[in-house]
Amino acid sequence: MESKKQTVPHNLFMAGGRGTGKSYAIRSLSRYRPRFIYIDVTNTVKSYTFTDTDAERIAARMRSDEVYDCCLWLGHLNQEQMEAAVKTVLDEAKKQDGYVTIAIDEFAVVYPGRRAQELESAARMGRHHQVSIWLGSQRLTDAHPNMLSATDKMYIYKLAAPADYKSIERNLGGRDMAEAVRSLDDYHYVAYDTGSGTWQKRNPVS
C-alpha cells in the first residue's frame, strides 16, 4: 500500500469556510515534510517548533537546521511588508539542498486581488527548485486560474459563499462535485486532481 508520505501533493490548494478543517489538515500533513514553513497572517498559530515575526530569522533557521518546522507571523505587517517577508522565505527555500514546503493560510491577505505572480512562478518552477507551495483560503475564488493550474491537487472543504459553488460547477467537476462539497461534514473534503479533472470525497486528514 502506498504510504501517506507519498500521496501528499507537491503543490496544493485548500479552500474551506472557517472551522471546516482546512488549517488542521495543513498542520497534519506538515508532519510528512521534513522542511516546512507555515506562514500565519493572524499571529496566533503556536503549534510549530520555531515561531518568529522576522523572515530573516526564519531564513537563518532554514540555513542552519537540516530538519525544521517553522512558523512565520505576518499579522503585524502591512501588505507590502508581508509580500517582502514571503519573498525572503521563498528565495531561501530555492537555495536549499532538498525539498522545502511553504504553506500560506489565507494567502489572499498577503496577495489581495489575485496579485500572486511570485507564488505562481514558485509553484510552476517548484520541482526545479525543490519547493512545494501549499495555499489555504476561505474562498475558492481567491485563487486565479493560473495559480490553480500550477497545483497538483485541490482539497475543498465545505464553503460559505454561493459564488464558490458556482465556480465548482463552471470550472471544476460540475454540479455533482458542487453538491458533494455542499453535503460535506466538517473536516471531510473533496480532493480534485487538476491534471485529470477527477474528484472524490475523502475522510478527514489524520
Which CA distances in Å does 36 have to 18, 111, 180?
23, 20, 31
Please tell me the predicted confidence (pLDDT) of residue 150.
81
pLDDT of residue 134: 93
For position 5, what pLDDT does the model report? Answer: 41
* 10 has pLDDT over 90: no
Cα separation of 105 and 198, whole Å?
25
- For residue 170, give the 3-state DSSP assignment: helix
Q: Encode pLDDT of 166-205 as tens digits.
A: 999 999 999 999 999 999 998 999 999 998 999 999 999 9
Give the per-residue pLDDT at 9: 79
Q: What would the pLDDT profile of 55-96 be if each residue is shown by its tens digit? A: 999 999 999 999 999 999 999 999 999 999 999 999 999 898
DSSP letter string over 52-100?
Answer: ES-HHHHHHHHHH-SSEEEEEE-TTS-HHHHHHHHHHHHHHHHHSSS-E
34-63 pLDDT per residue, tens = 999 999 999 999 989 999 999 999 999 999
93-146 pLDDT tens trace: 989 888 899 999 998 898 886 566 666 666 666 555 688 999 999 999 888 777
Residue 175 dihedral angles phi and psi, to the nearest 5°: -65, -35
pLDDT score for 6: 38
